[in-house]
Amino acid sequence: MTNRGFFDSDHKTQCFLLIAMMLFKTFFSRLALTLMLMVSLMASSIAQDASGGDGIPTDEATISAGQSLFEDNCTVCHAVHEVVVGPALKDVHERRPLDWIQSFIRNSQKVIQSGDEYAVKLYEEYNKTEMTSFDFSNEEINSILAYIKVESGKTPVAAAEEPAADGASATQAGASEGVSDFVMYALVINLVILVLILIVLAMIVRVLTKYLEQKSDLDVEDQEIISARFSLAALFKSKPMIAIMTILFVAVITKTVIDSLFHVGVQQGYAPVQPIAFSHEIHAGQYDIDCNYCHTGVTKSKNANIPSANICMNCHSAIKTDSDEIAKIYAAVENNQPIEWVRVHNLPDLAYFNHSQHVKVGGLECQQCHGEVETMEVVRQEAPLTMGWCIDCHRTTEVNSKGNAYYDKLVELHAEHSKEPMRVEDIGGLECSKCHY
Amino acid sequence: MRFNWNTLFVGALAATALFGCTKAGGENQGVEYAPNMYHSVAYEPLKQITDKEAGSWLSNREDGLGEFFNSNVNNPHEMNMREPVAGTVKRDENGFLPYRLPADSLAYAAEVVKSPFEKTEAVVANGKALYEKFCIQCHGDTGQGDGKVGVVFKGVPSYSKGRVAEVSEGHIFHVITHGKGRMGAHGSQLNQKERWEIVAYVQQLQNQ
What is the reported pTM?
0.70
pLDDT in the model for residue A174: 44
- A residues 358-417 closer than 8 Å to B (CB): 381
Report yes or no: B148 at the A interface, CB cutoff 8 Å: yes
Q: Over chain B, what is the mean pLDDT? A: 87
ipTM of the complex: 0.88
Residues of A in contact with B12 (CB under 8 A): 249, 253
Rounded mean pLDDT for each run of 10 residues along chain A, 437 residues in total: 46 52 53 49 45 71 85 80 81 83 83 84 78 82 86 68 43 51 91 96 89 76 72 81 91 88 87 93 92 93 91 90 91 90 90 93 93 93 92 93 90 91 91 91
pLDDT in the model for residue A92: 84
Domains and CATH numbers, chain B: 29-83 (no CATH), 106-206 (1.10.760.10)
pLDDT in the model for residue A66: 86
For residue A195, the one-letter residue type is V
- State how far the Cα of A54 lies from the Cα of A66, in Å rounded to an integer: 16
Report yes or no: A261 at the B interface, CB cutoff 8 Å: yes
Which of A105, A133, A288, A293 to probe the B interface (max B CBs under 10 A)? A293
pLDDT in the model for residue A432: 93
Residues of B in contact with A256 (CB under 8 A): 15-16, 19-20
> Is the four-CA dihedral B46, B47, B52, B58 of positive or negative sign?
negative
- In CATH, which superfamily holds the domain spanning A60-153? Cytochrome c-like domain (1.10.760.10)
Which residue numbers in chain B have pLDDT < 50? 1
Subunit contact A271:B25, Cβ cutoff 8 A: yes
pLDDT in the model for residue A141: 86
Domain layout of chain A by residue ranges: 60-153, 191-263, 265-306+341-383, 386-437
pLDDT in the model for residue A48: 44
